[in-house]
Amino acid sequence: DYRGLVGAFRDVGFTPADGYYRRDPVTRESTPCEADELADAVRNALEGESGGTTRFGALATGLGSLSTRYRFLTPPYIVLLCRTFLTLEGLASKADPEFNIYLAALPYAVRRALAPATKEGSEALRNTLLDESNRIRWARFQELVDGASASSDVAFNSRDHDDEVVSWEDAAAEEEKASSSGKSDAAGRLMGLFGSIEGKPLRAVTRAADSIDLAKAITGSSATARSLRESGTAALASYMTAFFRFRKAELAHEAAVEAERSREAKRSALALKVLAVGHLRNLANGGLRGVYQLVMLVLVGFVMLLSAFWRVVSDVFVGIWSGRQSPNVNRSSGSTPPPPPVIPAVS
């Protein structure tokens, strides 16, 4: 969105606040120009620059070349920020030549986008997540969740894999696990945002969403509905596993972590409860279509609960069976065998 990018340039003081100006390379005189003209110039400069969309250094170089044809401002804090990002990017590129600073910053940017502090930002959030009929744009929502979980995937893919000794099946399984963990963490951060002060615009968007469309997104047969049900089932299974876990050390550790997050979790749970009750009330008062979706929600919730319980039971039996097949004590010597060597994974 290069048109939005030049608008951001103006907001942060990178271009004059009263508009955009074209600069004559010879006379150095400035004349007003349209935002679309500057947006096209920025697009051509960055897309023509090697790494223009993945490296901050390329952005600085591209904009530097434009400064002879368009008027840019360089407030001191802009200069300091550019130096900071260039230094950090240079250090990161030594460890990972494929490092993408924009992808690494995406989770933070997504959270800021979901918690706007201005009226314009709140309107942009609403237009991004809801259409004219207040139906949720699920494709956009999925993009935000994927963006919020990008940091975990980047961390996995950028690890050092010099000792490539495990099979590609194990590597694929570990990568899938890392990706799922990242999306789970992203969902957790998103849920935490609902209970925070800065989450007010997101709560407003959720409250304004069409209740019947929201219910269909959970009870329907689309890929989005299946993905939502799978995520809900996995979350229920995780909660059940944590509830029935009897390892004291892990319980103590989790209790300490939960104590730190309890206040935010309680606020988020209360906010979600209020939003859910409001949408359920809308369904109950929505005529036959609303009542039908309400009944379907109850049935789907029951099926998800059973599926989660079955996963927990299956994991317990698998753990018991694995323990019997791999005893911890060496019966011939009566001693505990040494732990197996740690084998690095391969991406």
* Mean pLDDT score across all residues of the chain: 75
CA distance 248 to 266: 24
Where does the pLDDT of residue 37 fall: very low under 50, low under 70, confident under 90, or very high at 90 and above?
very high
What is the sign of the dihedral through the CA atoms of 235, 241, 244 and 245? negative
Predicted confidence (pLDDT) at residue 249 exceeds the cutoff of 80: no
136 SS3 class? strand
Let me know: does 271 contact 202? Beta carbons within 8 Å. no
- Picking from 96, 112, 132, the residue at the C-terminal end of a domain is 96
Helix (H, G, I), strand (E, B) or coil at 333: coil
* Per-residue pLDDT, 295: 92
Q: Which of 96, 114, 131 is the last residue of a domain?
A: 96
Length of the chain: 347
Give the mean model confidence (pLDDT) for residues 316-331: 64
Under 8 Å CB-to-CB from 100, ≥6 apart: which residues?
54, 55, 154
Please tell me which residue, 267 or 311, carries the higher pLDDT value.
311
Per-residue model confidence (pLDDT) at position 21: 92
How far apart CA 223 and CA 251 sit, in angstroms, is: 36
pLDDT at position 64, please?
84
Residue span of the structural domain in which 66 resides: 1-96
- Distance CA(246)–CA(279), nearest Å, equals 37
pLDDT (tens digit per residue) in 160-203: 444 444 444 444 444 444 444 445 555 556 666 777 788 888 88
Q: Is the pLDDT of residue 311 over 70?
A: yes
Angle at 243 between CA 240 and CA 245, to 5 degrees: 105
First to last CA, the chain: 32
Give the number of domains in the chain: 3
In a domain, 331, yes or no: no
Tell me, yes or no, whether 199 and 249 share the same domain.
no
- Do residues 343 and 165 make contact, with C-beta atoms less than 8 angstroms apart? yes
In a domain, 197, yes or no: yes
Q: What is the pTM of this model?
A: 0.59
Query: Does residue 128 sit in the same domain as residue 186?
Result: yes
Residues 215 and 188 in one domain: no
Tell me the per-residue pLDDT of 143-172, one tens digit each, with 9 for 90 and over. Answer: 776 666 655 444 434 444 444 444 444 444
* In-domain check, residue 337: no
Q: How far apart are CA 97 and CA 87, in angstroms?
A: 14
pLDDT of residue 163: 42
Residue 181's CB is within 10 A of a number of other CB atoms, namely 14
Q: Out of 30-44, 109-123, 252-266, 325-339, pick the least confident.
A: 325-339
Please check whether residues 195 and 218 belong to one and the same domain. no
Residue with tokens 């323990």: 323
Question: Considering only CA atoms, which of 158, 203, 156, 201 is closest in space to residue 183?
Answer: 156
Q: How far apart are CA 247 and CA 254, in angstroms?
A: 11
Would you say 274 and 199 are in contact if contact means Cβ atoms under 8 Å apart? no
